[in-house]
Amino acid sequence: MTTQILERPETKEADTGPEMFHYVRKEKIAESAVMGTFVIALCGEKFPVTRTPKKGAPVCPQCKEIYEAMKH
């Protein structure tokens, strides 16, 4: 009998901390949640989608600033 070691890749939390939510492309959210692929937020952070933000949850200030600039 042999023993195999399976490595689990390290995933890093966004630099803004786990409580902050980021703006990402809407069409990438479901893919990330199902497949575990990484999304890229407006601020440049890369992470897999693991949670759904609740109303009033804190948003990354950089993402919010970029999003507001895009609306105008």
52, pLDDT greater than 70:
yes
Confidence grade of residue 56 (pLDDT, cut at 50, 70, 90)? confident
More reliable by pLDDT, 13 or 26: 26
- Average pLDDT of every residue of the chain: 80
Please give the Cα distance from 9 to 11 (Å, whole number).
Answer: 6
Report field, pTM of the whole predicted structure over 0.75 = no
Find all residues with CB under 8 Å of 57, minimum gap 6, and list them: 19, 21
**What pLDDT sits at residue 41?**
94
